[in-house]
């Protein structure tokens, strides 16, 4: 038994020696392996981030384009929602894959700036609708013989007994000979907006919601006095 114990003891110390040697070599090789892992990992992270951004950046561009093009319209809540969601996702992806502290601060500041800018723009456009946009809306409505405020057809002159919408206007049979009866002021019967009125300078009938009189060129301001 004693013999066996001493043999096993010798074997044990030999194994301990081998263990120490192995651990020493592990200790020597670990830093190099970790460096390798770090660089491979950061390369991988960059690749993943690039793939995600390749999808997100076009979406972001699309939302910016939509905001610029149709920011003030019936669908603006939808567009704003889409824009905010895409922007938030881009922020999350950057936060996840570019862990530099400096970058995060820049991103946070930039996003605060964008949000403040959007809010100011939104508030301003609520308070003072852009003249350009108003004019476009009014002109488009007059061209379709529709009230610019409620889209009810402007039924005056030879169109008095007809009814149309923006879509059915093309199919409408407008009488060939437009009877040029006496022009009269016209108020939309639905929303009570004055659409044709007497021009204060030449006393003939002009568009109420367009800047200039077609007869004498007298102009008026379209924006409500605030
Ligand atoms: Zn109207
Ligand atoms: Zn006039």
C-alpha 216 to ligand 2 mean position (Å): 4
CA 140 to ligand 1 centroid distance, Å: 14
Residues 6+ apart with CB under 8 A from 225: none
* Nearest listed ligand to the Cα of residue 219: 2
CA 214 – ligand 2 centroid, Å: 7
Mean pLDDT of the chain: 84
Give pLDDT tens digits for 160-174: 777 888 778 777 766
Give pTM, 2 decimals. Answer: 0.44
What does the pLDDT read at residue 108? 79
Identify the nearest ligand to the CA of 153 by its number.
1
pLDDT for the residue numbered 179: 56
Question: In this predicted structure, what is the pLDDT of residue 225?
Answer: 47
| Cα 188 to ligand 1 centroid, rounded to whole Å | 5
Among candidates 120, 146, 134, which has minimal Cα distance to 72? 134
Evaluate if residue 10 carries a pLDDT over 90. Answer: yes
Q: How far does residue 204's CA lie from ligand 2's centre (Å)?
A: 6
The ligand that comes nearest to the alpha carbon of residue 212 is 2
pLDDT at 226: 39
What percentage of residues in the chain have a pLDDT greater than 90?
28
17 has a pLDDT exceeding 90: yes
pLDDT of residue 129: 66
Tell me which ligand sits closest to the C-alpha of residue 195: 1
Average pLDDT over residues 199-213: 90
User: Sheet of 186-187: strands edge to edge?
Assistant: 186-187, 194-198, 205-207
Neighbours of ion ligand 1 (CB under 5 A): 147, 149-150, 152, 188, 190-191
Q: Work out whether the CA dihedral 180, 191, 130, 201 comes out positive or negative.
A: positive
Ligand 2 geometric centre to CA of 199 (Å): 5
pLDDT value of residue 74:
75
DSSP codes, 20-41 = HHHHHHHHHHHHHHHHHHHHHH
Strand locations in the chain (E): 186-187, 194-198, 205-207
Instruction: Break the chain down into helix, strand, coil percent, rounded to 5.
Output: 60, 5, 35
The more confident residue out of 194 and 176 is 194
Mean pLDDT of 203-219: 90
Ligand closest to the CA atom of residue 213: 2
pLDDT digits (tens, 9 = 90+) for 53-91: 889 888 888 888 887 776 667 777 888 888 889 888 888
The count of C-alpha atoms lying within 13 angstroms of the C-alpha of 205, restricted to the half-sphere facing its C-beta, is 12
**Cα of 136 to ligand 2 centre, how many Å?**
21
Highest mean predicted confidence (pLDDT) among 128-137, 170-179, 198-207: 198-207
Q: What is the pLDDT of residues 91-145, one digit of tens each?
A: 888 777 776 666 777 777 887 888 888 888 777 776 666 777 788 888 989 888 8
pLDDT at residue 224 tops 70: no
**166 CA from centroid of ligand 1 (Å):** 14
């Amino acid at each position: 038994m004693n013999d066996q114990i001493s043999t096993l003891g010798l074997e044990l110390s030999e194994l301990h020696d081998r263990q120490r040697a192995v651990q020493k070599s592990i200790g020597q090789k670990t830093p190099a392996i970790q460096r390798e892992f770090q660089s491979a990992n950061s390369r991988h992270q960059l690749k993943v981030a690039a793939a995600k951004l390749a999808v997100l950046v076009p979406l972001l561009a699309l939302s910016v384009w939509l905001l610029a093009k149709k920011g003030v319209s019936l669908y603006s809540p939808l567009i704003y929602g889409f824009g905010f969601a895409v922007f938030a996702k881009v922020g999350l992806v950057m936060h996840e894959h570019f862990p530099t502290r400096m970058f995060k601060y820049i991103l946070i500041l930039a996003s605060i700036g964008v949000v403040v800018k959007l809010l100011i723009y939104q508030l301003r456009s609520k308070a003072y609708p852009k003249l350009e946009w108003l004019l476009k809306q009014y002109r488009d409505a007059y061209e379709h013989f529709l009230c610019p405020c409620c889209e009810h057809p402007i039924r005056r002159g030879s169109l008095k007994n007809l009814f149309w919408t923006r879509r059915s206007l093309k199919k409408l049979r407008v009488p060939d000979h437009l009877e040029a009866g006496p022009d009269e002021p016209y108020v939309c019967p639905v929303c009570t907006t004055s659409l044709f009125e007497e021009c204060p300078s030449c006393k003939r009938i002009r568009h109420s919601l367009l800047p200039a009189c077609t007869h004498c060129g007298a102009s008026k301001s379209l924006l409500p006095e605030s």
